[in-house]
């Protein structure tokens, strides 16, 4: 037998590559649009390419929906609403939703690998967060489908009709589940437009929906760029618009639907404060800070991108944070030990680089751990800015990348004032061992979600949504049903 | 080493130490004012441990995937870290002789397998083990201080320690008085550890916290600091007589405690996890915790041990699989 050296120092223990096999998923060379229960070539005749952001290799050619394609999708959703789904009893709809949920679980590995390939996020996140939560949303809403009379919206709340749903690239499958599950549970039919850079898991979900034998047209998935989304939003045959994405586009959508009678919910950007008091559980707070801003490369609308530290512990927490960041593993998203994956697109990388340059120009101190970046693909190292003040752009604008701005405060009142001093209001975090202070803070923070001694925790039973420029309407929980009911 | 210039998160802790009249937590922990009130101020001044967060972090590190060379390295290292243990009322000279033979040469079919770190027995079997292990480099560890309950007077505990030392123990695994700790009599716990430390002299001292009885992770952190301040060379999770024994969240808290203590005082205290670790997979998960929480400088038998018995054969089995590509049945590994 081979002899093994036993004198190696612990410092030499490097984890060997442990890549998840991409063989489990079959990516077709070309995808059509999913309308009326079938994949069909786009009437536009156009296609575009979706890339693997970790390598810039093309993954597949995807149909680009034009105006006629949107028409076709909305018409098939209307037909399915009128003839099948809209009149189906809730207990029957539930069966289909359970079927989808189970199929997602059964094909979880396939979904996870595909999500990491198309989005760039580490497999450990797609495997442990995105895909299980997507299944959980279908399970949760399947449970509501036959109990809507008990949800507090009257004895027999009615669906709205056809829902047009436009989703972002940061959690492609999960956002599809957030949109589709409540809409279907409440009896609406859907036209879903995934993001241009991450269409593949939605198209795999279309296969699952096909296999679950939903009435044709109940769910239609049309891929394309912003113009397809705008076409869907402006389509007169749509009764309800749900959008998750940037505040900029959200404002355009709100202007477009004004006066049309379409019901609208928007889940937009954020610039969340993560507030650490001097009596916080320090090690777990550091984990929460890391999870708050470096989870999914910071491509999270509720990311804890502004860290507010109590001054007495500011230096100590920063030191500990830097030590911790030095242990993060950046690289191949399919490696099971990767903590930080690729930035989703060249466009997003440019935006991050631009804001980081602005941060340096405004005098904040930039720091990143020693972190070699792969030669190909879109990458950005975990970055911390200290010495940030409220007036800096990096403290006000959403970066949507792995960049943390660190500010300090002296009193709880100052913490609240600084945390709320933003046009956004999606989420916030509070770290303290003092229960009464958590409640005091939660009452005053103007944010849709306040996490106490944790961050970025999601559950389908918990409503999620924002204040001010972070949007309106809630997703998840009983409150989330209201967005899809005529209540 | 003095702690007059605290830096980093450990600085908070160090400031707590100095701020309560402790002038320089030295390697042996001398100079600590040993009153309940002073110790309480230090221990309760440590940052809290959020249980949900600690469990989450431990669970997330358990998903690390250790393959190929990294796995082989870890399996070998784990063998070298094992304190091969028998602590039964039914222990006999024959049983201990067998254990010692296994410790010297864990796999007779493969001489490249390194010996384990130590054999751990009750004090009355130390001299026997000493003889069996002579010249092997395998240390003899003895439990002492009225193990496992620790319910005896200090005089009896010290006599127990003296027995183990006179019989030739290289390492002493003492238990703390959990009753005194839970009653807030920190000074008593501290003084007992100090007394045993002095009795041990240069002999390696491991202090068992019995974390299952301390119940909370806050208590685990406090007991860890108490033991380190009193001069422990190692802090150890459990006696193995109470369940749950070692758990990843407990190990995580203890590993962060030794990391912070080293930052504050410059002294590296080791960690021993003991009880309930039966599979190579579990052992590797603990090594991942060591690497990512305390740091790679703890990845040595001088700073991390695993108290176990049946674990060793699973390590050997996985090791052979890693080298030959095939599993050999359990009958191909000796039971001692």
CB contact under 8 A, B66 and A1: no
State yes or no: is A398 an active-site residue: no
CB contact under 8 A, B7 and A3: no
Over 80: is that where the pLDDT of A290 sits?
yes
Closest residue on chain A to B55 (Cα):
A284
Minimal Cβ distance to A13: which of B56, B70, B114: B70
E-assigned strand segments in A247-376: 263-267, 273-276, 306-310, 365-367
Mean pLDDT of A195-221: 98
CB contact under 8 A, A1 and B323: yes
CB contact under 8 A, A16 and B71: yes
pLDDT of residue A12: 76
Contacting residues of A for B47, CB less than 8 Å apart: 279-283
Contacting residues of A for B77, CB less than 8 Å apart: 6, 10, 13
Mean pLDDT of B144-151: 97
pLDDT of residue A162: 98
Over 60: is that where the pLDDT of B32 sits?
no
CB contact under 8 A, A279 and B323: no
Contacting residues of A for B66, CB less than 8 Å apart: 15-16, 18
Q: Which residue matches tokens 């950005």?
A: A380
Domain at A273-452, CATH from 3.40.309.10, 1.10.10.350, 3.40.50.300, 3.40.50.2300: 3.40.309.10
Q: In angstroms, what CA-CA distances link A149 with A82, A93, A143, A155?
A: 21, 15, 13, 4
pLDDT in tens, A35-82: 999 999 999 999 999 999 999 999 999 999 999 999 999 999 999 999
Of the candidates B83, B233, B236, B336, the residue annotated as catalytic is B236
Over 70: is that where the pLDDT of B24 sits?
no
CB contact under 8 A, A282 and B47: yes
- Which range marks the domain in which residue B136 is found? 51-324
Closest residue on chain A to B301 (Cα):
A10
| DSSP class of A380 | -
pLDDT of residue A3: 35
In a domain, B71, yes or no: yes
Global pTM?
0.94
pLDDT in tens, A345-381: 999 999 999 999 999 999 999 999 999 999 999 999 9
Closest residue on chain B to A291 (Cα):
B57
CB contact under 8 A, A319 and B323: no
pLDDT of residue B7: 39
- Chains A, B: CB contacts within 8 A come to 117
CA A57 to mean position of chain CA atoms: 23
Over 60: is that where the pLDDT of A9 sits?
no
pLDDT above 70: percentage of residues in chain B: 90
In a domain, B236, yes or no: yes
In a domain, B336, yes or no: no
Q: In angstroms, what CA-CA distances link A398 with A77, A229, A306, A325?
A: 35, 22, 10, 21
DSSP H helices, A397-476, are 412-420, 435-444
**How many structural domains are present in chain B?**
1
Mean pLDDT of A400-417: 98
Contacting residues of A for B61, CB less than 8 Å apart: none
Of the candidates A115, A267, A397, A398, the residue annotated as catalytic is A267
pLDDT of residue B10: 46
Of the candidates A115, A125, A301, A397, the residue annotated as catalytic is A301
Contacting residues of B for A337, CB less than 8 Å apart: 64-65
Is A3 in the B-facing interface, judged by CB distances under 8 Å? yes
CB contact under 8 A, A287 and B57: yes
Q: Which of A316, A318, A454 to mutate to test the interface with B (most CBs of B within 10 A)?
A: A316
Cα–Cα dist A22/A17, whole Å: 14
Q: Which of A17, A20, A277, A281 to mutate to test the interface with B (most CBs of B within 10 A)?
A: A281
Cβ atoms A337, A329 nearer than 8 A: yes
CB contact under 8 A, A284 and B53: yes
| Burial class (CB within 10 angstroms; exposed 0-12, middle 13-18, buried 19+) of B4 | exposed
In a domain, B5, yes or no: no
Output the domain CATH number for residue B193: 3.20.20.70
Cα–Cα dist B173/B216, whole Å: 22
Closest residue on chain B to A123 (Cα):
B63
Q: In angstroms, what CA-CA distances link A243 with A229, A299, A477?
A: 9, 16, 18
Contacting residues of B for A14, CB less than 8 Å apart: 70
pLDDT of residue B40: 97
pLDDT of residue A31: 98
Q: In angstroms, what CA-CA distances link A205 with A9, A107, A211, B44?
A: 47, 10, 10, 52
Q: How far is A282 from chain B (nearest CA, A)?
A: 6
Domain segments of chain A as ranges:
22-268+468-484, 273-452
CB contact under 8 A, A1 and B76: no
Cβ atoms A384, A325 nearer than 8 A: yes
Cβ atoms B206, B236 nearer than 8 A: yes
pLDDT band at B115 (very low <50, low <70, confident <90, very high): very high
pLDDT in tens, B226-243: 999 999 999 999 999 999
Over 80: is that where the pLDDT of B31 sits?
no
Is A453 in the B-facing interface, judged by CB distances under 8 Å? yes
Q: How far is A195 from chain B (nearest CA, A)?
A: 29
pLDDT in tens, B176-193: 999 999 999 999 999 999
State yes or no: is A267 an active-site residue: yes
Instruction: Write out residues 260-299 of A within 8 Å (CB-CB) of B.
Output: 279-284, 287-288
Over 80: is that where the pLDDT of B22 sits?
no
State yes or no: is B272 an active-site residue: yes
Mean pLDDT of B279-299: 97
* Residue among A141, A183, A142 at smallest CA distance from A160: A183
pLDDT of residue A449: 97
Closest residue on chain A to B7 (Cα):
A316
Mean pLDDT of A190-196: 98
Over 80: is that where the pLDDT of B8 sits?
no
pLDDT of residue A487: 81
Q: Which residue matches tokens 């599979």?
A: B279
Give this complex's ipTM: 0.94
CB contact under 8 A, B69 and A16: yes
Minimal Cβ distance to A18: which of B65, B112, B114: B65
Minimal Cβ distance to A18: which of B12, B67, B290: B67
Q: How far is B41 from chain A (nearest CA, A)?
A: 14
Q: What is the 3-state secondary structure (H, E, C) of chain B?
A: CCCCCCCHHHHHHHHHHHHCCCCCCCCCCCCCCCCHHHHHHHHHCCCCCCHHHHHHHHHHHCCCCCCHHHHHHHHHHHHHHEEEECCCCCCCHHHHHHHHHHHHCCCCCCCCCCCCCEEEECHHHHHHHHHHCCCCCCEEEEEECCCCCCCCCHHHHHHHHHHHHHCCCCEEEEECCHHHHHCCCHHHHHHHHHHHHHHHCCCEEEEECCHHHHCCHHHHHHHHHHHHHCCCCEEECCCCCCCCCCCHHHHHHHHHHHHHHHHHHCCCCEEEEECCCCCHHHHHHHHHHHHHHHCHHHCCCCCEEEEECCHHHHHHHHHHHHHHCCCCCHHHCCCC
Contacting residues of B for A11, CB less than 8 Å apart: 296-297, 299
pLDDT in tens, B293-326: 999 999 999 999 999 999 999 999 999 999 999 9
Q: Which of A3, A9, A11, A13 to mutate to test the interface with B (most CBs of B within 10 A)?
A: A13
pLDDT of residue A4: 36
Contacting residues of A for B290, CB less than 8 Å apart: 10
pLDDT of residue B34: 72
Task: For A70-128, give the DSSP string.
Answer: HHHHHHHHHHHHHHTGGGS-HHHHHHHHHHHHHHHHHTHHHHHHHHHHHH---HHHIII
Closest residue on chain A to B61 (Cα):
A337
pLDDT in tens, A108-122: 999 999 999 999 999
CA A293 to mean position of chain CA atoms: 13
pLDDT in tens, A149-174: 999 999 999 999 999 999 999 999 99
* Residue among A270, A433, A403, A425 at smallest CA distance from A340: A403
Cα–Cα dist B236/B229, whole Å: 15
CATH number 3.30.420.10 given to A22-268+468-484 = no
Q: How far is B123 from chain A (nearest CA, A)?
A: 30
CB contact under 8 A, B71 and A128: no
Closest residue on chain B to A434 (Cα):
B48
Q: How far is A198 from chain B (nearest CA, A)?
A: 26
CB contact under 8 A, B9 and A320: yes
Cα–Cα dist A163/A140, whole Å: 20
pLDDT band at B27 (very low <50, low <70, confident <90, very high): very low
pLDDT band at A310 (very low <50, low <70, confident <90, very high): very high
Contacting residues of B for A280, CB less than 8 Å apart: 47-48
């Amino acid at each position: 037998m081979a002899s093994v050296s036993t004198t190696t120092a612990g410092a030499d223990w490097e984890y060997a590559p442990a890549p998840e096999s991409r063989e489990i998923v079959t990516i077709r060379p070309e995808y059509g649009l999913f309308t009326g229960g079938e994949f069909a070539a786009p009437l536009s005749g156009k296609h575009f390419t979706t890339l693997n952001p970790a390598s810039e290799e093309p993954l597949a050619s995807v149909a680009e929906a034009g105006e006629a394609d949107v028409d076709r999708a909305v018409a098939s959703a209307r037909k399915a609403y009128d003839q099948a789904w809209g009149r189906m009893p809730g207990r029957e709809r539930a069966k289909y939703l359970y079927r989808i949920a189970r199929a997602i679980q059964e094909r979880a590995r396939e979904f996870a690998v595909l999500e990491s390939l198309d989005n760039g996020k580490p497999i450990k996140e797609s495997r442990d967060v995105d895909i299980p939560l997507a299944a959980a949303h279908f399970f949760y809403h399947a449970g509501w489908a036959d109990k809507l009379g008990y949800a507090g919206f009257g004895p027999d709340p009615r669906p709205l009709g056809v829902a047009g749903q436009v989703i972002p690239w940061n959690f492609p499958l999960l956002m599809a589940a957030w949109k589709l599950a409540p809409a279907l549970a409440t009896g609406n039919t859907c036209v879903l437009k995934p993001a241009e850079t991450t269409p593949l898991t939605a198209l795999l979900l279309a296969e699952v929906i096909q296999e679950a034998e939903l009435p044709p047209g109940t769910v239609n998935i049309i891929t394309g760029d912003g113009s397809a989304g705008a076409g869907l939003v402006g389509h007169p045959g749509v009764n309800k618009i749900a959008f998750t994405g940037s505040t900029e586009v959200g404002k355009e959508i709100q202007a477009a639907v004004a006066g049309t009678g379409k019901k609208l919910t928007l889940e937009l950007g954020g610039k969340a404060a993560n507030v650490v008091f001097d009596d916080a559980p320090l090690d777990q707070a550091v984990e929460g800070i890391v999870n708050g801003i470096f989870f999914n490369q910071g491509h999270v609308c509720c990311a804890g991108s502004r860290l507010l530290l109590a001054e007495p512990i500011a230096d100590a927490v920063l030191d500990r944070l830097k030590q911790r960041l030095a242990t993060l593993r950046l690289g191949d998203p399919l490696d099971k030990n990767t903590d930080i994956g690729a930035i989703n697109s060249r466009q997003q990388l440019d935006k991050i680089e631009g804001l980081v340059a602005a941060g340096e120009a405004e005098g904040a101190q930039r720091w990143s751990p020693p972190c070699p970046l792969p030669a190909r693909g879109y990458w950005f190292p975990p970055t911390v800015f200290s010495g940030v003040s409220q007036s800096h752009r990096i403290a006000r604008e959403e970066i949507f990348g792995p960049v943390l701005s660190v500010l300090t405060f002296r009193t709880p009142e100052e913490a609240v004032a600084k945390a709320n001093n933003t046009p956004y209001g999606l989420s916030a975090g509070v770290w303290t061992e003092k229960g009464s202070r958590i409640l005091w803070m939660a009452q005053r923070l103007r944010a849709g979600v306040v996490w106490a001694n944790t961050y970025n925790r999601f559950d389908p039973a918990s409503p999620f949504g924002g204040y001010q420029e972070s949007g309106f309407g809630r997703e998840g929980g009983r409150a989330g049903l209201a967005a899809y009911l005529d209540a | 080493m003095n702690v007059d210039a605290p830096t980093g998160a450990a600085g908070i802790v160090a400031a707590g130490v100095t701020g309560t009249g402790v002038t320089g937590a030295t390697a042996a922990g001398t100079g600590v004012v040993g009153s309940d009130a002073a110790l309480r101020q230090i221990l309760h001044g440590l940052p809290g441990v959020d249980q949900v967060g600690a469990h989450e972090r431990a669970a997330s590190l358990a998903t690390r995937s250790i393959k190929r060379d990294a796995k082989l390295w870890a399996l070998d290292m784990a063998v070298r870290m094992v304190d091969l243990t028998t602590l039964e009322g039914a222990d006999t000279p024959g049983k201990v002789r067998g254990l010692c033979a296994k410790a010297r040469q864990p796999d007779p079919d493969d001489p490249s397998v390194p010996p384990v770190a130590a054999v751990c027995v009750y004090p009355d079997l130390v001299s026997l083990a000493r003889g069996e292990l002579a010249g092997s480099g395998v240390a003899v560890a003895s439990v002492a201080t009225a193990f496992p309950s620790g319910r005896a007077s200090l005089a009896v505990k010290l006599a127990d320690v003296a027995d183990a030392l006179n019989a030739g123990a290289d390492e002493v695994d003492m238990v703390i008085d959990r009753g005194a700790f839970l009653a807030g009599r920190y000074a008593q716990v501290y003084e007992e550890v100090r007394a045993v430390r002095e009795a041990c002299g240069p002999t390696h001292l491991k202090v068992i916290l019995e974390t299952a009885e301390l119940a909370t992770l806050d208590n685990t952190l406090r007991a860890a600091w108490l033991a380190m301040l009193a001069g422990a060379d190692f802090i150890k999770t459990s006696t193995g007589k109470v369940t749950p024994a070692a758990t990843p969240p407990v190990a995580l808290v203890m590993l962060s405690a030794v990391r912070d203590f080293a930052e504050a005082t410059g002294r590296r205290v080791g960690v021993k996890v003991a009880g309930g670790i039966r599979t190579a997979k579990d052992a590797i998960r603990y090594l991942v915790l060591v690497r990512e929480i305390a740091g790679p400088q703890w990845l040595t038998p001088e700073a991390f041990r695993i108290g176990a018995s049946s674990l060793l054969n699973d390590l050997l089995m996985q090791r052979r699989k890693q080298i030959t590509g095939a599993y050999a049945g359990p009958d191909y590994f000796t039971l001692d």
